[in-house]
Amino acid sequence: MIHKRRIGGDNRGIGMTSPGTRERLVQRLREHGIADERVLKAILQVPRHEFVDEALSSRAYEDTALPIGLGQTISQPWIVARMTEAVMDGGQPQKVLEVGTGSGYQAAILAQLVPEVFTVERIKELLRLARRRFHRLAMHNIHARHADGHLGWMSQAPFDGIVVTAASRSVPEDLLEQLRVGGLLVMPLEERGGGQRLLAIRRTEQGYERTDLGGVIFVPLLSGLE
């Protein structure tokens, strides 16, 4: 079952932010292997231009990462779609944690598909801006918190899915413990020889099963608050 969320305001866009431009992005994602139509529909519905600076709005529907200030980026739409598709694999999660709110775009995509989305961000200014976007777009099923992502959100655990939008050398133990048995954690891990791999880690009764989803480039997962 797809959980439809009303997106408030008039966010249809014109020109390079128009519905036609969004449809072309969705078609590119489909051609590059994104197969879950629920995810593609969410990409179509969410106005990505609302999550970038106005000066970059004409590039919002390019399949590329864009700067959002403070040394952070809004992820490439293909990466957002791939991570969302992975966490949706095998069922309908009811409760998902995102680590690294950033612009809020990944959380907004998840909010079209999951009844409850919890997201944590260590940079207070980014979180303030993301909350403002969630409010403007009437995304009331997103719960945001200023916190160290390594620690997750223990009081709301367990989660059916966890999406980490920054790379680490290892999977934080606290996040694994907050994953429900049968749930899936999707995050980029740094390799010893350089580079990063996107992994899907499923918790089972016996332990954890890892699937390599390919090479990626993410900002590092840092500790502490800012």
The rounded distance, in Å, linking the Cα atoms of 190 and 176 is 17
Identified catalytic residue from 18, 57, 75, 170: 75
Residues 117, 98: contact at Cβ < 8 Å? yes
Please give the biggest Cα pair distance in the chain: 52
Give the integer Cα–Cα distance in Å for 201 and 181: 11
* Strand duo 179-190 + 196-203: pairing: antiparallel
Q: Phi and psi of 132, rounded to 5°?
A: -60, -40
For residues 186 and 176, give the distance between their C-alpha atoms in angstroms, rounded to a whole number: 11
Name the residue with tokens 């699937």. 211
CB 102 within 8 A of CB 127: no
Distances (CA, A) of 44 to 18, 26, 109, 146, 223: 11, 7, 10, 29, 33
**201-207: long-range contacts (C-beta < 8 A, 24 or more apart)?**
201/171, 201/176, 203/176, 203/179, 205/181
Gap between the Cα atoms of 99 and 106, Å rounded? 10
Active site residue 75: yes
Paired tokens of 203: 């918790």
Active site amino acids: 75
